Structure 1
Amino acid sequence: MQSDSDQQNRQDEAMSAEFIPHLRFLKTLVAALAVAMVLGLAAIVVILWVRLGTAELPQLPDDVTLPDGATAKAVTFASDRLIVLTESDQVLVYDGKGALLQSVMLTQP
C-alpha cells in the first residue's frame, strides 16, 4: 500500500511540475489584462472629464418673443445667435439680446 501511495505522489509531483510554466503564463496574462482594463477605464474617465468639463452653455437672451401663433419645434445656438424652428417650418434667427434678425420660411421639396 505504501508503494502505491508513494508512486501516486511522484506522479502528482511530475504533473504539477509540467503545469507550473503554464500557470505562470496564465497568471502573467491575467495580470496584464487587469492592468489593460484599469488603464482603459482610466482613459475613459479622463476623456469624459475633459469633454464634459469644458462645455459652456451659451448666454441666453432674457426675452425672446415668437410671432403670434408660432410654437417652437427646435432651438439651437450659434456663437452669437439663437435659431428657432417653428411648427410651421419657419426659421427665426435672433441676436444675443433677443431681437429678431431674420425670418425664413422653409419649403418642402
Structure 2
Amino acid sequence: MDDNSPPVSPATLKFLARLVTLLTATMIVGLLVIIALLVTRFWAEDDGALPLPDSITLPQGSTPTAVTQGDDWFAIVTEDNRILIYDRQSGRLRQTVTIETQN
C-alpha cells in the first residue's frame, strides 16, 4: 500500500461493512425464495393434467418411442416412422401419419 494515501475514516468502513452485510442477507433471502419455489413446484399436484386411457392398443409390431398430447387427442411416435393419433375420450385411432425419411 502507498504511504501517501489518505487514511480511511471509520464511518466509511462502517458504511461498507453494513453494505456487505445487507448484500449477504439479500442473497440468502433470494436463495431461500428460489429453493422454496422449486420445492413447491415439484411437490404441487398437477390439477391441469389431462387424463390418458389406462391402456392403448398399438398396431402389431409397433414399438413406441415418444408420446405427446393435445386437448382432445394424444399421439404416439413409433420406431417404424409413424405417428399414431388417438382420440382422448374413446381411445380409438383417429389418424396415422407416415414419416418419410430422406436419403
Does TM-score exceed 0.5, indicating one fold?
yes
1:104 aligns with 2:97: yes
Following superposition, the deviation at residue 99 of structure 1 comes to 1.0
Runs of at least 5 residues in structure 2 that lack an aligned partner in the other structure: 1-6
Which amino acid letter does the alignment assign opposite residue 35 of structure 1? A
Q: Deviations over 1:20-52 (max 9, x none)?
A: 223212221122212321342244246436755
Paired residues for 1:64-75 under 5 Å:
64-75=56-67
Cα root mean square deviation, aligned = 2.4
Runs of at least 5 residues in structure 1 that lack an aligned partner in the other structure: 1-14
Which structure has greater helix proportion? 1
2:10 to 20, 30, 36: 20
Following superposition, the deviation at residue 82 of structure 1 comes to 1.3
Using the size of structure 2 for normalisation, the TM-score is 0.71
Using the size of structure 1 for normalisation, the TM-score is 0.68
Inter-partner Cα distance in structure 2 for 1:81 and 1:49: 31
Whose RCO is larger (CA < 8 A, sep 6+)?
1
Following superposition, the deviation at residue 58 of structure 1 comes to 2.1
Paired residues for 1:25-104 under 5 Å:
25-45=15-35, 47-48=37-38, 51-52=41-42, 53=44, 55=46, 56-96=48-88, 97-104=90-97
Q: 1:50 to 1:78 in 2, by over 3 A?
A: farther
Percentage of identical aligned residues? 35
Following superposition, the deviation at residue 98 of structure 1 comes to 1.6
Equivalenced residue count is: 93
Larger Rg: 1
